[in-house]
Amino acid sequence: MGVWWWRLLFAALSGILFSAQPCASQKVPKYRFMQNARTAANISYYDYIVIGGGTAGCPLAATLSQNYSVLLLERGGSPYGNPNISNLAAFGAALSDTSPSSPAQRFISQDGVINSRARVLGGGSCLNAGFYTRASPQYVREAGWDGRAVNESYEWVEKLVAFEPPMKQWQSAVRDGLLEIGVLPNNGFTYDHIEGTKVGGTIFDHNGFRHTAADLLEYANPTRITVLLDATVHRILFRVKDGSKPMAHGVVFRDSLGRRHKAYLNHHPRNEIIVSAGALGSPQLLMLSGIGPSNHLKAHNIRLTLDQPLVGQGMSDNPMNAIFVPSPRDVEVSLIEVVGITSFGSYIEAASGENFAGGSPRDYGMFSPKIGQLSTVPPKQRSPEALAKATKDMESLDEAAFRGGFILEKIMGPISTGHLELPSRDPNHNPLVTFNYFKETRDLERCVQGLTTVEKIIESKAFSPFRYPNMPISLLLNMTASAPVNLLPKHTNSSLSLQQFCRDTVMTIWHYHGGCQVRKVVDNDYKVLGVDALRVIDGSTFNDSPGTNPQATVMMLGRYMGVKILSQRLGAAPSA
Ligand SMILES: Cc1cc2nc3c(=O)[nH]c(=O)nc-3n(C[C@H](O)[C@H](O)[C@H](O)COP(=O)(O)OP(=O)(O)OC[C@H]3O[C@@H](n4cnc5c(N)ncnc54)[C@H](O)[C@@H]3O)c2cc1C
Ligand SMILES: *[C@@H]1O[C@H](CO)[C@@H](O)[C@H](O)[C@H]1NC(C)=O
Ligand SMILES: *[C@@H]1O[C@H](CO)[C@@H](O)[C@H](O)[C@H]1NC(C)=O
Ligand SMILES: *[C@@H]1O[C@H](CO)[C@@H](O)[C@H](O)[C@H]1NC(C)=O
Ligand SMILES: *[C@@H]1O[C@H](CO)[C@@H](O)[C@H](O)[C@H]1NC(C)=O
Ligand SMILES: *[C@@H]1O[C@H](CO)[C@@H](O)[C@H](O)[C@H]1NC(C)=O
Ligand SMILES: *[C@@H]1O[C@H](CO)[C@@H](O)[C@H](O)[C@H]1NC(C)=O
């Protein structure tokens, strides 16, 4: 199956030229409290030290700085002034940059699915597809959170970084298709998680300009916060007194010149270190600090602080599968704007148009081999050579082959879990992580049900202007897996093949979580069990991914826990 097939299919179609959205010029905050770690003192003291300036870490540090001195340590650089981060149409540019200075650090799970993690102030919110949507009331209840404080925290986040998406023709057709096939009711535009079809929020504003968790530092008290960039934390330091629990009291971090710095907590029993290094970084850092399965730590010559076999367990990544639908007419460039929340635990979302991923306008944005998405070969075969070949093939396709969009399904949960291990004692090395996609049958069933729903949308009347009338579903499926790039599915026998299609074309939607789960590694207040003065607050604590997409809840959690920590300590709720 070669490129010629595509040439034939699209030969008669005229290409449309991609026109990039103008680079929106926006006010860029000049945080005078933000500096490079090279300028940091060798030793410094704070009331709170937050490790990881990501999606949870930024709102958390901003909130704590209202009343206490806070150090926020981020291994990456600033997101400000980088068009790869700021522009919606550049989605994929950062993800396709695999250099050591990239804001995205690529990793490949042991399952073979190519993935990415943030390395920049603002974390995943600087790389993501922007969709902003809250967790369900049931999720909030089961997490044991206070519903009112949760709502206030969401609102605090939304005031700065959430917007209503533009909803042009293609996204509207997907929405109308969902309604036509019975994913009801129509819930209009809302941040709320309600069964049915809705338009969700986005962190891209009306100019296609991205707002991120780093923007929440505008809420910080500039006199009480220090943000250090290029500051990689290597270890948390514990004070161990006979008969009491190990107590976290400092951290070791290195700047970009490799120079070592130490930061300690001011001496007060309620001062704390909080790890917000993300689902890969947080369990990794606990292990590097001696909290983890003792045998594993011993194998790496790490001095044991606490034998905790559950650190690094419960790792999950929600599988994503998608079908590409070429369009006979022009489509807008869109990331996720609409979601169908089905009754059977599959979420339907979509993205359209050509998104730049590294200079060429001929690209598939969220589904580009340039960013590691490769559904045309099964996970274990996604070698660097396979990626390079797909990227090269893509360049020779007719432009018309890029007109259209992907309708995707992601399953809730998931139920399948895996685990994480250290490859070495170097915090810059990606941990080895296994997600076990579709290990549990229920996950596979939800994928099949989700794809069946996607097929119905493609065949709906509402969506018909955006598909070729002579292209049956079997061909589209065949396309997403057999084309030179992510277009066609491999298995033509649809009854048998949807399960196989799920396994063969599985990609990530980057909602991986777990590793420091609540009631396993941390308690209900996110305090690490078995030690003092240490919490973990970020996506690593989740048992399931919240909402249809997690970032709203990750940011909310940073704010929510900041407020909770302050009010427990001050005896009153701080004012916003
Ligand atoms: C490409 C992509 C698309 C996505 N699309 C969406 C979407 O549309 N909607 C949505 O809701 N969600 C989306 N997500 C998911 C969402 O962005 C993440 O779940 C969320 O950002 C995770 O937040 P976190 O705080 O747990 O981790 P992160 O935001 O990753 O923060 C962790 C931070 O810790 C830093 N760090 C790690 N280790 C160390 C160390 N040793 N020392 C110092 N710093 C360290 C990292 O550099 C990082 O900045 C997407 C994610 C990606 C990557
Ligand atoms: C800081 O540490 C470096 C070595 O890492 C040392 O050369 C320097 O003298 C130290 N500075 C202070 C003020 O102690
Ligand atoms: C905490 O900070 C807020 C805002 O800076 C301030 O209004 C409040 O008085 C402070 N509370 C205490 C107990 O210091
Ligand atoms: C929080 O807001 C949601 C709507 O976004 C609402 O359904 C829920 O009742 C609110 N919870 C509380 C406790 O006010
Ligand atoms: C933007 O992305 C491109 C392609 O991935 C890369 O070559 C370039 O260096 C990036 N620019 C910045 C400012 O990061
Ligand atoms: C699917 O693709 C294969 C080649 O990859 C081809 O042999 C087969 O005929 C195609 N099936 C359909 C229904 O198009
Ligand atoms: C297609 O799948 C059905 C159901 O699994 C099976 O009975 C049939 O033999 C398959 N046909 C082919 C050609 O593989």
Which ligand 7 atom minimizes the distance to the CA of 493?
Answer: 1
Query: What is the reported pLDDT for 4?
Result: 42
Helix, strand, coil tally for the chain in percent (to 5):
30, 25, 45
Distance between CA atoms of residues 373 and 472, nearest Å: 24
Burial class of residue 559 (count of CB atoms within 10 Å of its CB; 0-12, 13-18, 19+): buried
Ligand lying nearest the CA atom of residue 236:
1
Average pLDDT over residues 298-307: 98
290-296 long-range contacts, Cβ below 8 Å, gap at least 24?
290/238, 291/528, 291/530, 291/531, 296/421, 296/422
Asked if 314 and 326 touch (Cβ cutoff 8 Å), the reply is no
67 touches ligand 3 (CB under 6 Å)? yes
pLDDT band at 355 (very low <50, low <70, confident <90, very high): low
Residue 52's region, left for phi above 0, alpha for psi from -120 to 50, else beta, is: left
Q: Which residues form ligand 5's pocket by a CB distance below 6 Å? A: 82, 84, 93, 96-97, 358
Average pLDDT over residues 399-427: 93
Cα–ligand 1 centroid distance for 460 (angstroms)? 36
Instruction: State pLDDT tens for residues 436-495.
Output: 999 999 999 999 999 999 999 999 999 999 998 877 776 676 565 555 544 444 445 544
Cα–ligand 1 centroid distance for 240 (angstroms)? 32
Query: What is the reported pLDDT for 393?
Result: 80
574 touches ligand 3 (CB under 6 Å)? yes
Beta bridge mates, 45 = 264
Q: Which of 308, 312, 315 is nearest to 294 (CA)?
A: 308
496 touches ligand 7 (CB under 6 Å)? yes
DSSP labels for 408-442? EEEESS-S--EEEE-SSS-TTSPPEEE--TT-SHH
Query: What is the reported pLDDT for 360?
Result: 55
- Which residues, in sequence order, are CB contacts of 532 under 8 Å at separation 6+? 244, 245, 246, 247, 248
66 touches ligand 3 (CB under 6 Å)? yes
Ligand lying nearest the CA atom of residue 563:
3
For residues 515, 518, 519, 525, the Cα torsion angle rounded to the nearest 10 degrees is: 140
Residues labelled as active-site residues: 511
Q: Among 151, 154, 158, which is best to mutate for testing ligand 4, by the most ligand atoms less than 8 A from CB?
A: 151
Query: What is the reported pLDDT for 361?
Result: 60
Which helix (H) or strand (E) covers residue 554, if one does?
helix 551-570
Average pLDDT over residues 490-513: 79
Distance between CA atoms of residues 468 and 9, nearest Å: 11
pLDDT band at 26 (very low <50, low <70, confident <90, very high): low
Which ligand 1 atom minimizes the distance to the CA of 366?
Answer: 1
Instruction: Spell out the SS3 assignment of 121-166.
Output: CCHHHHCCCCEECCCCHHHHHHCCCCHHHHHHHHHHHHHHHCECCC
**pTM of full prediction above 0.85:** yes
Query: What is the reported pLDDT for 479?
Result: 61
> How do 418-421 and 186-189 pair as beta strands?
unpaired
Instruction: State pLDDT tens for residues 111-145.
Output: 999 999 999 999 999 999 999 999 999 999 999 99
| Better-scored residue on pLDDT, 359 or 66 | 66
Beta bridge mates, 306 = 291
Which helix (H) or strand (E) covers residue 43, if one does?
strand 43-46
Query: What is the reported pLDDT for 403?
Result: 84
